Chain A
Amino acid sequence: SQTIHQWPATLVQPVGSPLSLECTVEGTSNPNLYWYRQAAGRGLQLLFYSVGIGQISSEVPQNLSASRPQDRQFILSSKKLLLSDSGFYLCAWSTGTREKLFFGSGTQLSVL
């Protein structure tokens, strides 16, 4: 069966520090991979998606970047965090377009 791993579960970082969140998927090949952000009490906002190694599409301009160095690995990064980067970050995967997403357990990021 397929599983998705996302870590860390919680992270507290000072403003201006770098960020690296990692997500890996097991049990499937060539998944579509996604990074979402969820503000408290709000819906999910798509940040990035990837349909293959090295292929990254950005949905919104922001202080973040994403990379996919391996087929089942998706990384969310920032060189300098802003207060507004705080939120709940979710990695997800799907088998293709117009298919259901399976989400990781999320990372609660607090930028202070």
Chain B
Amino acid sequence: GESVGLHLPTLSVQEGDNSIINCAYSNSASDYFIWYKQESGKGPQFIIDIRSNMDKRQGQRVTVLLNKTVKHLSLQIAATQPGDSAVYFCAENSGGSNYKLTFGKGTLLTVNP
């Protein structure tokens, strides 16, 4: 069925480097996408979202890019810090009256000092 998945299950970076976490989605009707950060034993924390009428959105140290042609979503974290170490999930909503967010399996980001 339709699903959201991640290219890389783990990513290890050096402190200060930029991180890029990728996500592929298969539902062409999806029009709203969200990135969440989840630290161990905690609930997911909202990072940034983007709607399908945009292809880029920036937040504080984070940028989300949406490529609808290839159904690809990415999260870029600038100047990665040890506190960024966590699992990152992408989620998508297929629109209409659909209340359901479909989550990917997550990418574990480890930041090495």
Q: Which residues of A are interface residues toward B (Cβ below 8 A)?
A: 6, 32, 34, 41-44, 46, 49, 51, 57, 59, 90, 92, 97-98, 100-106, 108
Contact = CB atoms under 8 A, between A and B. Distances in A.
Main SS at interface, chain B: loop
Contacts of A105: 42-43
A100 B34 contact: yes
B16 interface: no
Given A46-B101, A103-B43, 18 more contacts: A34-B99, A42-B106, A43-B105, A44-B89, A44-B91, A46-B100, A49-B99, A49-B100, A51-B99, A59-B100, A97-B97, A97-B98, A100-B34, A101-B46, A101-B101, A102-B46, A103-B36, A106-B43
Contacts of A49: 99-100
A46 B102 CA distance: 8
